[in-house]
Amino acid sequence: MKQISFNVDKKTRLDEFLKKNHISHNLFISIYKDDIFINGKHAKRNSKLEKGDIVTINLRDEENKYEPINMDIEVLYEDDDIFVLNKPDKLTMNKDGEKSLANFVSYLFKQRNIKQKVRFINRLDQDTSGVVMVAKNKIAQAYYQKNSFKKKYLAIVKGNPKDQKIELNLKRDGIKTEIDENGKKSVTILENLKNYGDYSLVSLELLTGRTHQIRVSMEYINCPIVADSLYGEKIENFSQMLHANEIEFVDMKGEYHNITTNLPQRFKDYLKE
């Protein structure tokens, strides 16, 4: 069983202190009776804290339902709370009945004796490659879901779009996402890195996190992502040319990180053609 400890820096209530440390009310209610301690003693829901107190949370062992499978997947970053992985294309996150990224995470957990469920902080489509952040426990998941992090993507698109901000209202409709005035606002920043004849390599920064946001945005400006079978045109033997290449975040200790990846081989191969 893993423990996480916090040092109290001023007089406050337990629930207020934990909220400031990114533990939600629902999570607090679910664990305070058995798994929160103040200076080694069981905490009460209305406990008061003094400067210098130590709050400890027990993370009970959990059942992990995914079979551990080693794969040739790059671990870009690791600390006590998270992994950042470089997911290949043509791999699902956690689809039942087939090998997925969750199986590789389960393998990493087994190697490190982490007895927790697999918790993804961000997700990518099956044919999108790139950075995926994985929480090692539910406290880390709560922290990173509450604290925003910047994500950037690379894409090969049809046409030669200009640098621009794309703002759309999007709504999920079955397997697709549609533009809908009553949908949720999405904002994407596009930078054209280089033109390759009738195609371009572009950088895309997400200021919001809507499902298929990039893919719909590129279709909207008539520059669909190459090999995007849902919003563009399918190309045999190619996954869609979309790759999450960069993520910026502040970790649970307050340190800043910028994690980047190399251009995927399938991008290099396509641009050579």
Sign of the alpha-carbon dihedral angle for 265, 268, 270, 272: negative
Prediction pTM value: 0.89
The verdict on residue 67 lying in a domain is: no
Backbone angle region of 2, left / alpha / beta, with phi > 0 → left and psi within -120 to 50 → alpha: beta
Q: Report strand pairing: 12-13 vs 48-49.
A: antiparallel
Range of the domain at 100: 72-144
Tell me the average pLDDT across 60-68: 93
Same domain, 178 and 260: yes
Tell me, yes or no, whether 153 and 139 share the same domain.
Answer: no
Q: Are residues 135 and 24 in the same domain?
A: no
Q: Give me the number of domains the chain comprises.
A: 3
Give yes or no: residues 248 and 166 share one domain. yes
Say which residue the tokens 């090998």 belong to.
Answer: 99
Whether residues 193 and 225 share a domain: the answer is yes
Domain end (from 92, 118, 144): 144
198-229 per-position pLDDT tens digit: 999 999 999 998 999 999 999 999 999 999 99
Among this protein's residues, is 72 annotated catalytic?
no
The catalytically annotated residue of 53, 89, 125, 127 is 125
Q: Contact 93/113 with Cβ under 8 angstroms?
A: no
pLDDT digits (tens, 9 = 90+) for 85-137: 999 999 999 988 899 999 999 999 999 999 999 999 999 999 999 999 999 99
Q: What is the CATH number of the domain that holds 166?
A: 3.30.2350.10
Does 76 have pLDDT greater than 70?
Answer: yes
Domain for residue 62, yes or no? no
In Å, how far from its chain's centre is CA 4? 22
